[in-house]
Structure 1
Amino acid sequence: MITGSIQPKNGKYYAVLNLYDHTGKRRPKWVSTGYTVKGNKKKAQEVLNELIRRYSAQLPPSKRGQPACTRTVDMTLLDFLQEWLSTRKPHIQPTTYHNYSKMIEGRVADCFGPQKTLLIELNYHQLDDFYNSIRKDGCCENSVVKYHAMLKMALDYAIRKEYIQINAADRAVEKPSRKNRYKPSYYSRDELNRMLQTVTDDVLYIPILLAAYYGLRRSEVLGVRWTSIDFEKKTIAIEHKVIDGSAAGQEGLLLMDEMKTKSSRRTLPLLPTPERILLEAKARQEEHRRVCRKGYNAKYLEYVCVDSLGNLLSPAFLSAHFSYLLKKHGLPHIRFHDLRHTCASLLVAEGVDMKRIQLWLGHSNFSTTADIYAHLDFASKRDTGAVIGNLLDKVKPEEKQCDMP
């Protein structure tokens, strides 16, 4: 239960709220009503009543009959977000944690830090202003989507903890929508074959081959190890990844067994061409190690994508050198990740159903695959057209209804 009173100070009325810390000690909060003392007592009282109502509405039902605790009432939005993020750290990818940290310590802190915005006082008007400030800075709508998603998730946690009762992100008028969804580029079968034939002697040949045949993500390509390949059972397991430490606020490369999603961990058939080329690469690596001796990096012996001295290829090098290769050989520009999309587009064009493509790519759900590639599903559209065509073509002329005069 929150109580309070109005008190004069320096010629103005202040609303004084009776708040208490977790020990039960009174911690009054003074809020200016904006009214001078002379002739404004009634208006100041109305401000106090509104503050009491607002603060009381945010208290969890179990605490409304008790003194209001400053632990939940006087917590700033930034302090709360740091608490929330610490609880999420064990459950999210290091890169996601790093991105959330930068978002909170950057734009969110710049907007809500100077005013020391309280969690309990946050409203949808403030969020609308925050979203619009991102847009005014020239950022795309997808940037706004990311901030909105993070804040909504955090405020949902605040409700579960009974810090607040209403999620302001749910009420934001300017709620963002992912309007500018990225449209991936694709290589045709001829373009892809031309690339594969052109780069056979390059250090990126194996990464390109794996991405093209299996639709692997960049981190998954670099994470392929010899122990993941069973040449007897003819399988290749996608169960490890390599990312730049800088993406997670760390130095060097991060070698991780934790995949992007549960579905990302998958076992695929070892196809004849990749098998032959991988066996050749394995023999070549062993020869390089024999020739270089101590000059060969023995730290990454189990990895497939290494250079001639045994150094593991980095994600940054892979992307930069891939662009260089395309320009050097006059090939259309695409991102390395677009090899994954190219793999999927070729499967779609050959009539492979979306569910099988989902499993091949390791998407966490069917809708992700369908959203990205449904517009390419020409085969199913032809089949659907054939069905409706056959049905209607069987209608006899005498069965057709004539137009009314």
Structure 2
Amino acid sequence: MKKLIKFSDFLTDVYFKNRKDLAETTKSNLHSYFKNRLDFYNKRMLFINKKDILTWLEKENNSYNSHRMNNNLYYIFEFAKTHKYIFKNPCEKLKVKASNKAGKIFTKVEIEKILSYTKQNCDKLYRACLLALYGGLRRAEICGLKWSEVNTKSCEIIISGQIVRVDAKPPHFTEILKTESSHRKIQFPKFVIDELLLLKDNDVYVIGGFKYSFLDPMYITTKFRWVLDWLGLEHRRFHDLRHTNASILFEQGVNQKLISTRLGHAKMSTTIDVYTHLLNVQQEEANIALQKYLQ
């Protein structure tokens, strides 16, 4: 009977099978997150209520990640409601106040420490940091970057693939990116390209791996965490280097459309939503500038 299906079964056997538009990596990430973080993961769909959602959000401290996952839950339950698995969407009209969506960015001093240490002690991570800081590349995109996509003369890099892990399977290269807009071309400072060439260790991939010809994204995650601990810096994700890149561009007054394009966001509204706090600062600066000029 439809109404007796568990959330776990509905997610894998119904929702994912019907959402052909979702990338396999997205499905894998959602499944892993929900399985490990939702107390109601094995609860029957019909009996999941707003209290369950609020309890989970409180447990997650209303972080940006929980805010994002709550949006995913909304669409999952809405799908269930449309197909008569439930009567009401427990996420409906649920206002979630999320923390800073862009995460915690790194300061200039912290960046200098990270780059200095990794250059001397772990050059693979050093190159990954350069690509994230100067190009805003995602971790999987960095690992999947091939020399064939690097124009050493114009210093342009084409993002056309990534390394992904689906469930417990070994990582592999795929040309399927997060969104169509993730296929993009980014120009880098010449010194970044020079550093990549100087430390070249693979004829196919820009950063060679250990077990595989490419670098495993998990290596970046674990090694970056270790480096932060060694340097005595506050724990943040490697992904926050990407946010740092975008934050610097915003603070320097770079065109919002260009920033969105460089980040590979599907919609400009995504960029604006994530970096609203920076846009508010720019609004204030614009008002001050206008007032100063007109008075």
TM-score by length of 1: 0.60
- Structure 2 counterpart of 1:323: 225
Does the CA-based 8 Å contact 1:155-1:167 persist in structure 2? no
Shift of 1:217: 1.4
Shift of 1:211: 0.9
Where do residues 4-403 of structure 1 align in structure 2 (5 Å cutoff)? 76-78=4-6, 81=11, 82-88=13-19, 90-101=20-31, 103=34, 107-108=39-40, 110-112=42-44, 122=46, 126-132=48-54, 134=56, 138-141=59-62, 149-158=71-80, 163=84, 168-169=88-89, 175-182=94-101, 184-201=103-120, 202-203=122-123, 204-243=125-164, 245=165, 248-282=166-200, 285=201, 301-307=203-209, 311-330=213-232, 333-377=235-279, 378=281, 381-391=284-294, 393=295
Cα 1:315–1:375 shift into 2, 3 Å = same
Instruction: Note the aligned Cα RMSD (angstroms).
Output: 3.4
Equivalent position SS for 1:258 = coil
Question: What CA distance in whole angstroms lies between the structure 2 residues aligned with 1:99 and 1:146?
Answer: 13
Runs of 4+ in structure 1 deviating by more than 6 angstroms, as ranges, are: none
Does the CA-based 8 Å contact 1:350-1:379 persist in structure 2? no
Question: What CA distance in whole angstroms lies between the structure 1 residues aligned with 2:81 and 2:132?
Answer: 43
Question: What CA distance in whole angstroms lies between the structure 1 residues aligned with 2:110 and 2:118?
Answer: 12
Equivalent position SS for 1:199 = helix
Q: Of the two structures, which has the highest relative contact order with CA contacts closer than 8 Å and spacing of 6 or more?
A: 2
Structure number with the higher strand fraction is 1
Shift of 1:193: 3.5
Unaligned 5+ runs, structure 2: none
Cα 1:216–1:147 shift into 2, 3 Å = closer
Shift of 1:92: 1.2
Cα 1:194–1:380 shift into 2, 3 Å = farther
- Please tell me whether Structure 1 or Structure 2 has the larger radius of gyration of its CA atoms: 1
Cα 1:188–1:172 shift into 2, 3 Å = closer
Cα 1:307–1:382 shift into 2, 3 Å = same
Shift of 1:272: 0.8
Question: What CA distance in whole angstroms lies between the structure 1 residues aligned with 2:105 and 2:41?
Answer: 40
Shift of 1:225: 0.9
Shift of 1:146: 6.1
Question: What CA distance in whole angstroms lies between the structure 2 residues aligned with 1:311 and 1:380?
Answer: 47
State the percentage of identical aligned residues: 25
Shift of 1:158: 4.8
Does the CA-based 8 Å contact 1:306-1:313 persist in structure 2? yes
Shift of 1:270: 3.9
Unaligned 5+ runs, structure 1: 1-72, 287-300, 394-405
Alignment size in residue pairs: 286
Cα 1:199–1:109 shift into 2, 3 Å = closer
1:264-310 per-residue CA deviation (whole Å, 9 max, x = no partner) reads 2111124311121122233xx26xxxxxxxxxxxxxx4111125897
